[in-house]
Amino acid sequence: MFGYFFACITGFFLMMILHLWSVEHRKLKQRFGEDKGIKIGKILGAVSGWMELVFLIGFWTSPQPRFTLFSNSSVLLPFVGLSIPLFHLITAIPLMIAGAWVAIKAVKEMSGEVGFVVVDAHSVPEKVVKSGPYTIVRHPQYLGANLAHIGGSILFSASYALLFTPIYVMCNYLISWKEEEELVKELGREYKEYQENTPMFVPKIWKKRKVCGKDLTKFGPRMNKKGSDLTFSWRFSQPVH
């Protein structure tokens, strides 16, 4: 039973290696030349990205012990003959929709800012994108992937996949760390400032502001929309004297 899941893990780790290699733009250009190095990076990025998605779905659907949370009530999907616990359905669908929305919104924002499409996501960066979901976290695609994985694991009652979640999140962290290492080399101080002001995965729920020499924590998120950009502002929980 574990064999199929282990095969997906092995494939995912192999694709992760290709992914890490695809963002080493300088090394690829030094080894293969300017144009060829860029093309190889794009190919490695496209192959690893799509195959990571395939193996992610494999985590959920491969044979493994299934679990049920809180209730035995289930919903039967007639076209595929799949029975899903009702609580799993209610919990998983919002997570998967939120994850997909964040990831797609991030790709659209990147495309609008620098002209990249999905297969160009590993291309040489042109500038720091700070709009849309990038105002909230530095890696919205991976935040979306983490949410989708948790949702998919619950939806399919996949116990191995759910137990694999901390490792999956850590893998996305390592990929993000490697990408940022290269981004700092290529974009310099501007990206360092972006790192300092924007969290990697987890949105900030509070900030501190110094007023009259004292640090005052601001609570209560408010969402403001300016065009297509989504930003957060904050209000004091009590008056400042």
Q: Are residues 109 and 155 in the same domain?
A: yes
- The closest of 235, 205, 199, 239 to 218, measured between CA atoms, is 235
pLDDT computed for residue 130 by the predictor: 85
Domain range for 35 is 2-197
Contact (Cβ atoms closer than 8 angstroms) between residue 8 and residue 58: yes
Same domain, 144 and 221: no
Distance, CA of 199 to CA of 194 (rounded, Å): 9
Identify whether residues 42 and 82 lie together within a single domain. yes
**Residue pLDDT, tens place only, 57-96:** 999 999 999 998 887 777 777 666 678 888 999 999 999 9
Q: Supply the pLDDT for residue 193.
A: 92
Same domain, 85 and 165: yes
100 and 19 together in one domain:
yes
As a whole number of angstroms, the distance between CA 34 and CA 173 comes to: 29
In the chain, the number of structural domains is: 2
The list of the chain residues with pLDDT below 50 reads 118-121, 209-213, 215-241
Residue type, 28: L
Q: Which two tokens stand for residue 211?
A: 């007023």
> Cα 116–117–123 angle (5° rounding)?
50
Residues 49 and 132 in one domain: yes
Q: Are residues 114 and 189 in the same domain?
A: yes
How many other C-beta atoms can be found within 10 angstroms of the C-beta atom of residue 2?
12
Q: Is the pTM here over 0.75, yes or no?
A: yes
Same domain, 103 and 12: yes
